[in-house]
A and B are shown apart, each in its own frame.
Chain A
């Protein structure tokens, strides 16, 4: 009788240990459990590598490692909307894209604090969207707070994910194991993390996000959903004072570290902007959008020392080729945006050597080959 509970627990422990061992082996064999810093080192050695830690809460740690190894002149911190900015767009400056590591101002500040502890870029660009000043939105992305330097947690988190992945996509593991046996595994070696190998998705060496072709194939359909962004992003009647205070602290952080802070609201599909401007049903929630664009707010950003650029109504927003979906500019969209910014005196005063002519040539070349999504090529 007394042994009932110990035997029951020992049975569970024995099965769990065995399963964990098998999963750990499978993880190692398929590069799935590679620590994020190791991913960064591998990617630095081989530019054809794409990497994707299994959970987005570890992407910050991985990108921090990449940024620290590259020590670029310019960094960009923000959500997925900024993920298609490429390092070539900032020639001759060195650039690293830290998109997909920060969805609100708190997370942006935390990322910059971590960066400044390691190195100080000349310019830090932060994605500053109107919805970052909507409290409901800020709360909705709280779960995406990053984990830094947490290797044990990473290992513990990843084992169940491998199990999940293994049972839902067994072919990936079968392939990975057979590649391993054949000692012929270039695809495996160049895709770090099971999500990278499964979908050919992941971060390139410059930090931009490489999408699978399926994403681009669906882009025109996605653009038909004008309110898409609004369903996913909760608005608010007004700009949050709390978030404004946090922005002030972010600006102070940049100043204290001698880093120039640029804020950009990246383009949004014109039909979505129309909904934000005119839809009566959404009027209450779009108060934050209207207030964010007011002269008063622009003046506040300037006072804080943030060079703010709003591309949400730029001509770039009128062409479908410039978008993957209503909220996500394509690589072409970002290139057109950079060309537009490089003609802005304020922007040019911060990055005077920006190669505008080169960017225009890149655009002409891309349009000639009818490529809107992979102008600067994929990792592999």
Chain B
């Protein structure tokens, strides 16, 4: 079921909310059961065939976690480790089978000139997300960072529908303590804040992201058919695509956080004005924040630890006070960064274009780290004039836009074609619609100068970059700070209505991250 479908918004959500509210009056256990059942219905309506993957992997992971705890109590570390390895392999194999088998068979056919039939495997919705959640849970159980969790709470942590299909990738420490609280249930302020976020997110998706979809689809289709689209066409395509991804994912994240709040659960923020970032490292700390956090904790840090141990074991000096040698930088900083981002790229999808997406981001992030290490840390930079910060923001945006070419392209070759067109390699004259340019300019203004949703509803405590916080912006922010007032209620009611009309007129298109 889509968040942006009439059935979800006008039927599933009100019924679930009412049932949940009534259940909380009886007992918290019943309320949790209501949410679990609703989440299973939410998942099943879309793709009933793959429910067994979600249910089966959830139960197996829980049993393995219990086993790990038991073996710890019995003082048998080898068995504990074995159970962890089984759990990791089981979850990764499941993800690998469903997500990567067709790609691997296709690649093997091409490389070894084989003619094996490419299996048609339906990707279980959200498998990339719930697999990560379960892996994190298992590792933390192994590390004794989490004790025994009731099966009901664990199921709700995995199944909870606002985050089930496309994240945020929640950590058990963020969710399970909330479920164990006596106050778990619907709260007035959170309900209203949640509804407001839901409406804002819906509007971003339906009124902005879906409107931008047409231009970029046409551009990529033309390239896939072997036609050049020229410099102007390529830039319009990629600007539309970039803003579409931005508003689609931002809209989804707002809706997910808002929906969870309506049920009294706070999900971690997932999207915090990433295009206001002045370098790619900062951008990734603001874009798909829960994924970045997972990658840092469970992939990047272990790689850094392993490399650092080897580095130290070989007698070479570890970085001290931020000072690092060139060799140390490559081994301890650049390599883990690139490796992590390549894995992140492949996580997004099975295809060489996703690998390129990850690689480009990794390399550019490594360069950012290098700049910090070798330029800023040595005091060679720091007193730049005021305009350099906005320039850095724009440069970061353009750099990220180039990487998104490979995120959106149906294949690596189409991605390369797009870059070639953007660099003016194909002199094809294209007519660029002035209205499209105007729309993109307005949306870039929104992205760069307006407060984001969590700032509007005062969920975020993160300060916005100082260079962009002018007096006008401060006033705007004050004016745009949400209050549960009649004016805001009418504004949100109007926006909600217009968004619903947008759904009726357009079509219910899935969020881009649903394909992962």
Contacts and interface: CB of A to CB of B under 8 A. Distances in A.
B489 A12 contact: no
A19 B501 contact: yes
Contacts of A164: 504-505
A235 to B, nearest CB: 15
A5 B501 contact: no
B493 A9 contact: yes
Interface in A4-49: 4-5, 7-12, 15-16, 19
A375 to B, nearest CB: 38
Contact of B195 (A8, A11, A15, A168): A8
Contact of A12 (B484, B493, B505): B493
A285 to B, nearest CB: 13
Interface in B490-516: 490, 492-494, 496-497, 500-501, 504-505
Contact of A4 (B484, B497, B504): B484
A8 B505 contact: no
A3 interface: yes
A8 B490 contact: yes
Contact of B493 (A1, A10, A163): A10
Contacts of B493: 7-12, 15
B192 interface: yes
Contacts, number: 54
A7 B195 CA distance: 13
A92 interface: no
B78 interface: no
Contacts of A2: 188
A5 B485 CA distance: 10
A311 to B, nearest CB: 33
Contacts of B191: 5
Nearest to B503: A160
B488 interface: yes
Nearest to B486: A7
A149 B435 CA distance: 47
A92 B314 CA distance: 100
A263 B505 CA distance: 41
Most buried by B among A3, A9, A12, A167: A12
Interface in B182-204: 188-189, 191-192, 195
B4 to A, nearest CB: 15
Nearest to A166: B505
A168 B504 CA distance: 12
B501 to A, nearest CB: 7
A5 to B, nearest CB: 7
A4 B485 CA distance: 6
Contacts of A163: 501, 504-505
Interface of B: 188-189, 191-192, 195, 484-486, 488-490, 492-494, 496-497, 500-501, 504-505
Interface of A: 1-5, 7-12, 15-16, 19, 160, 163-164, 167-168
Given A4-B488, A11-B494, A164-B504, 14 more contacts: A1-B188, A2-B188, A3-B486, A4-B484, A7-B486, A8-B489, A8-B492, A8-B493, A9-B493, A10-B493, A11-B492, A12-B496, A15-B497, A160-B504
24 contacts: A1-B192, A1-B484, A2-B188, A3-B486, A3-B489, A4-B486, A4-B489, A5-B192, A7-B489, A7-B493, A8-B489, A8-B493, A10-B493, A11-B489, A11-B492, A12-B494, A12-B497, A15-B493, A15-B497, A16-B500, A163-B501, A163-B504, A164-B504, A164-B505
